[in-house]
């Protein structure tokens, strides 16, 4: 399974949004997934999810279509996180 097939299956099931606790996923994902699975997760989040709103470590993502990769990586001792901007942050709230 790859990022494209995950997104396709989610769309087929009617999923439009995905909520993620980024603090938990940073800690647990590398331990729960083998290296290849973690790479697929990172590819999926980078290419298929568009951030809508965030509050603390929680991010609500819209399941989007294929788009150009535009992420900024910042290193941390335990992992790497990505950040993207939709330009809608001021209009959104939880």
- pLDDT value at position 8? 93
Cα separations in angstroms, 32 against 16, 24, 25, 37, 86: 25, 11, 10, 9, 29
Neighbours of 3 (CB within 10 A): 19
**Whole-prediction pTM value?**
0.60
Helix (H) or strand (E) holding 75: strand 72-75
7-53: pLDDT as tens digits: 999 999 999 999 988 887 766 676 777 778 888 888 998 999 999 99
pLDDT confidence of residue 36:
83
The confidence score (pLDDT) of residue 55 equals: 95
Phi and psi, residue 22, nearest 5°: -65, -30
pLDDT digits (tens, 9 = 90+) for 71-87: 444 444 443 444 444 44
Whether the CA torsion 48, 26, 37, 10 is positive or negative: it is negative
Q: Torsion-angle region of residue 7: left (phi > 0), alpha (psi -120 to 50) or beta? A: alpha
């Amino acid at each position: 399974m790859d990022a494209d097939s995950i997104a396709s299956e989610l769309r087929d099931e009617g999923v439009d949004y995905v909520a993620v606790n980024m603090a938990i996923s940073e800690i647990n994902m590398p331990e729960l997934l083998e290296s290849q699975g973690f790479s697929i997760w990172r590819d999926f989040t980078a290419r298929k999810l568009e951030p809508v709103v965030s509050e603390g470590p929680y991010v609500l993502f819209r399941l989007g279509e294929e788009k150009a990769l535009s992420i900024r990586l910042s290193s941390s001792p335990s992992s790497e996180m990505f950040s993207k901007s939709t330009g809608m942050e001021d209009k959104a709230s939880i």
